[in-house]
Amino acid sequence: MRILYFLIIVVVGFAAYVRLAPTDPNRWNLAPQAAAPGDTSEAGGFLAARRITATAAEVLQAFEQRALATPRTTLIAGSVNEGMMTFQTRSRVWGFPDYTTVTVTDDLLIVYGRLRFGGSDIGVNQARILGWLETLGPLTEPL
């Protein structure tokens, strides 16, 4: 019975840590880099770059609206006026935070999503980013 109690305490402690660990915006709000349009997957992350067909402010404003319409997503740093924003999206059950930074460099919209805990996000960041990009429609060029 003690083992069961111990396991319950470990699981509850882990869940509390994941949900309550402080977020340092300076650690996550860093400009992603890309030289050309395309997608890049990595363990625990995904980077997408698209050419824009509108002004940077228009594209970033539309992106911000779409991101903030996503459940459990908040803006943790930056703004449209700053030209870069970082959003935190938490998973439904455990509350794992993922961070997505978006910026425009020259004529490229660059979006970089990555996890905070673990080694793999099982494609969650890629699916979210590609979904957001689809809603931008004529503001970006398709690949």
In a domain, 1, yes or no: no
In a domain, 4, yes or no: no
In a domain, 49, yes or no: yes
CA 131 to mean position of chain CA atoms: 12
| pLDDT greater at residue 109 or residue 139 | 109
Residue 19's pLDDT is what?
A: 84
3-state class of 7 per DSSP?
helix
What the block records as the tokens of 133 is: 């990009």
> pLDDT digits over 73-105, tens only?
999 999 999 999 999 999 998 899 999 999 999
Q: What does DSSP say about strands 45-51 and 108-115: parallel, antiparallel, or unpaired? A: antiparallel
In a domain, 109, yes or no: yes
> Which domain, by its residues, includes 110?
23-139
The answer to whether the CB of 75 falls within 8 A of the CB of 68 is: yes
pTM above 0.75, yes or no: yes
In a domain, 35, yes or no: yes
In CATH, what number is assigned to the domain containing residue 59?
3.30.530.20
Residue 135's pLDDT is what?
A: 92
Per-residue pLDDT, averaged over 103-118, amounts to: 95
Residue 105's pLDDT is what?
A: 96
Number of CB atoms found within 10 A of residue 37's CB: 17
Report how many domains make up the chain: 1
